[in-house]
Structure 1
Amino acid sequence: MKIRQNLYIDRELAEALQALAAGEAGNKSRLVNDAIRDWLERRGAKEIDDLLKRRLDRLGREIGHTRRDIEVLLESLSLFIRYQLMVTAPLPEGDAAAIAVGQARFDKFVSQVARQIASEHRTLGETSDTGKIS
């Protein structure tokens, strides 16, 4: 069912509408109907875009904070490794006992990291002694 509307539009728009309707685009009613439908759909999309924009802005800030935290952790780790390598004497090549102790400590370290990653338990900020590697 269609409803008749009496509308007033600017002369320039009326001439452009007449030119469009004279071509292969169709009649004036269909052109105006399509234009109004498109405008209303864009208006609804704008409201959704505004909601998504706020959420994306928040996510962008969180990603920025996460990136900063990762950079701090990587810099801390690299400084620790450099310090450790500078102050720790290398093991003598023939000292199998020291090499075995070092390998056992490394294996324990790797398994502790794997356990904590799997359990989502983090040592950073922990105040008890349960996160210590012996």
Structure 2
Amino acid sequence: MRDRLNLTLPVELIGRINELADRKKLPRSAIVEAAVTSFLSPDHADVREAAFARRLDRLSRQVQRMERDLGITAETLALFVRFWLSITPPLPPDAQAAAQAKGRERFDGFVETLGKRLQKGQSFLREIPDDIAAGPGSDQSG
């Protein structure tokens, strides 16, 4: 059963309804009916809220992974620097040129290996399980 309803709307809104009706090849009443139904739908706000909640949950997990990876990266760098500084003796001046050449060669090898791993999609950080990276007593639940 249908009933007639006369209403007044702003001219701009009627223009937009007319444009949509022409574009979709639908009667204006069908467009207004769909809009009112959507507006009055009790789950409309719930659906939108659920979509926002899912998006926020995904963003939270991404931020947690970034924090984890940044922490691992900083700790790895700090341990490497500490280790390197503690075991590397100063070189006499006559050995520095050869050491610098060897260092450049080794660095080039490092960059090449890193490039290959990145091209293959390999990541050192992905090799570290989440439960090990979290460490004892840390809370990653957010």
Q: Which runs of 4+ in 1 moved over 4 A?
A: none
Asked if 1:3 corresponds to 2:8, the answer is: no
Please give the TM-score of this superposition, normalised by the length of structure 2.
Answer: 0.52
How does 1:54-133 map onto structure 2 within 5 Å? 54-95=54-95, 96-123=97-124, 125=127
By how many angstroms is 1:107 displaced? 1.4
Alignment CA distance shift 1:67-1:42 (3 Å): farther
By how many angstroms is 1:42 displaced? 8.4
Aligned to 2:133: none
Q: Which amino acid aligns with 1:99?
A: Q
| 3-state SS of 2:94 partner | coil
By how many angstroms is 1:108 displaced? 0.9
Aligned to 2:26: none
Which of structures 1 and 2 has the larger relative contact order (alpha carbons within 8 angstroms, sep 6+)? 2
Largest Rg, 1 or 2: 1
Alignment CA distance shift 1:39-1:122 (3 Å): closer
Structure 1 stretch 72-81 or stretch 116-125: which is displaced more?
116-125
| 3-state SS of 2:93 partner | coil
Q: What is the aligned length? A: 101
Contact 1:91 1:99 in 2 (8 A): no
Identify unmatched segments of 5+ residues in structure 2: 10-31, 129-142
Q: Which amino acid aligns with 1:105?
A: R
Structure 1 stretch 38-47 or stretch 115-124: which is displaced more?
38-47
Identify unmatched segments of 5+ residues in structure 1: 6-26, 127-134
Contact 1:116 1:122 in 2 (8 A): yes
Q: Which amino acid aligns with 2:119?
A: A
Q: Which amino acid aligns with 1:90?
A: P
RMSD between superposed Cα atoms in Å: 3.4
Q: Which amino acid aligns with 1:49?
A: E
Q: Deviations over 1:82-133 (max 9, x none)?
A: 221232113333223232222211111121112211221234649xxxxxxx
| 3-state SS of 2:107 partner | helix
By how many angstroms is 1:4 displaced? 4.4
